[in-house]
Amino acid sequence: MDEKQERSAGVLLHISSLPGKEGIGTLGESAYRFADFLKESGARYWQILPLVQTGFGDSPYQSVFASSGNPYFIDLFALAKEGLLKKSEIAPVCGKGKIDYGYLYEHKYTVLRRAFARFDVRDEAFERFVGQGAFEDYALYMAIKEKNGNKSFDLWPKKYKYRDVAALAAFKEENKSEYLFWLFVQFIFLRQWHALKDYVNALGIRIVGDIPLYVAADSADVWANPSLFKLKKDLRAKKVAGVPPDYFSATGQLWGNPVYDWKKHASDGYAWWRERIRRAFGLYDAVRIDHFRGFDRYYEIDAGEETAVNGRWRRGPGYALFEAIRADLGDLDFIAEDLGTLDAGVYRLMKKTGYPGMKVLQFAFDGNPENSYLPSRIGENSICYTGTHDNDTMVGFLEKMDEGARAAFYVREREELKKLGIARRVSGVRSAASAAAELALACKAKLAVLPMQDILLSGGDTRMNVPSVSAGNWCYRLEKMPPQRAAEELRALVSRYGRI
């Protein structure tokens, strides 16, 4: 983030969590109304999770292509206005409440294919988009995957698996419609996204995007660039990513993503990464880099291990990568997700890049007076959160504590309120959760970001993700647009602490 940036506030809510009629949040009317809510609340940042097309497990941190847009987010009602769909054809995708990804997979793509059947592929803008070739590998990968029963690419016939040039050219010609369908969904997604972003930016609000450190094992990224990853000859991962035992899991987190061959990346000046970052800033105004510590040292585990306990730390690219990005693309607004197991090397890299790190208040009140997450100890070059998408909501976090731990939390929170000159009572779970939001806004961090659930004081049933748990995540949705009262109350706090 810009070091000269004025104090400001933001709200964390992913596109999937917006309310609406389509079974998942989309780039349609609710997204525009939520932007209006942000404007009324005084927030100047809207932070989202990766916009990518999700694969198995539905995680935005496991995508079929790192630079893709999620077809689930396409507003079908906008396609109906263009004459590509009838409203009655959208009905099977409609539904409120938590997201049912299996149902969406069965029905939304069927509706999108119907829209594509009516789309004129000779459209000038679409032909130009296709000709640019930015989604060539993605479209081929998805088309071949579809024709091979959605199997992982390492199980495809060898001529496709190992990218035989003649075989790929023949496949493309013989399956032109399928290939063009996947280009169509990216074309429509980007058109709708840029229209929304233009609207949001015109309100004076910037969008914070998110890029995962790693890509999925079964992805167009790995298929098209196998030499950039530590793979076996059969193109299956040799080493996979994760983190050792930590706050979230006693056996660590075994993510399963193939790790990078950083020597290979360095040999061409990190070209793949520079292109990935360039495309990210074509979508967002600022970017949160997930698992930033992995650029200093990363944790790799032998493929086939059942947990992340038996991993090893390896040296990452360090500052050389960010130096190459800066030389190519200039100074960019990054947020470094510097949570987890840190050491001196990470701190040196943070200092050298100058990127702001994250301070999460759920980690603050452990009784350590030197805890760097305590609001009174947070410095300006930081982004303060009550919690992230990987945390429980503040209300859920407090409700799960035993009575003794909760009482100790209240005492420590009162101490921080006093240090920051805030006169308010803490007398229960909801008041403590509300006080945490105020502490985030009151601290010295240049940007304070509140998850929407913590603004609404929602319970743990609205949690977005539980790390290391494979099922039931990424399903949270707002039932309706936040009330005017929530915007007014947030605006009062944002104004009180000089963030407006």
Max Cα–Cα distance, the chain, nearest Å: 72
Whether residue 299 contacts residue 242, with contact meaning beta carbons closer than 8 Å, is answered with: yes
Amino acid sitting at position 166: A
Neighbouring C-alpha atoms within 13 Å toward the C-beta of 326? 12
Amino acid in the structure at residue 384: C
Q: Which residues of 293-304 are buried (b: 16+ CB within 10 A; e: fewer)?
A: bbbbbbbbbebe
Say if CB 443 and CB 376 are below 8 A apart: yes
Catalytic residue among 22, 210, 218, 337: 337
Q: Among the options 137, 221, 290, 392, which is catalytic? A: 290
> What is the chain's Cα-based Rg?
23
Tell me how far apart the alpha carbons of residues 435 and 37 are, in angstroms, rounded to a whole number: 22
SS3 93: helix
Active-site hit among 22, 75, 296, 390: 390
In 303-423 the beta strands, taken as DSSP E runs, fall at: 312-315, 334-336, 357-360, 382-385
The number of beta carbons lying within 10 Å of the beta carbon of residue 193 is 20
**Which amino acid appears at position 4 of this protein?**
K
Catalytic-residue membership of 290: yes
**Over 8-61, what HEC string results?**
EEEEECCHHHCCCCECCCCCCHHHHHHHHHHHHHCCCEEECCCCCCECCCCCCC
Question: Do 228 and 265 touch, CB atoms closer than 8 A?
Answer: yes
The answer to whether the CB of 330 falls within 8 A of the CB of 283 is no
Q: How many CB atoms lie within 10 A of CB 104?
A: 18
Rounded to whole angstroms, how far apart are CA atoms 5 and 3?
A: 6
The reply to whether 390 belongs to the active site is yes
Reply yes or no on whether 22 is catalytic: no
The three-point CA angle 297-223-165 to 5° equals 140
Residues annotated as part of the active site: 290, 337, 390
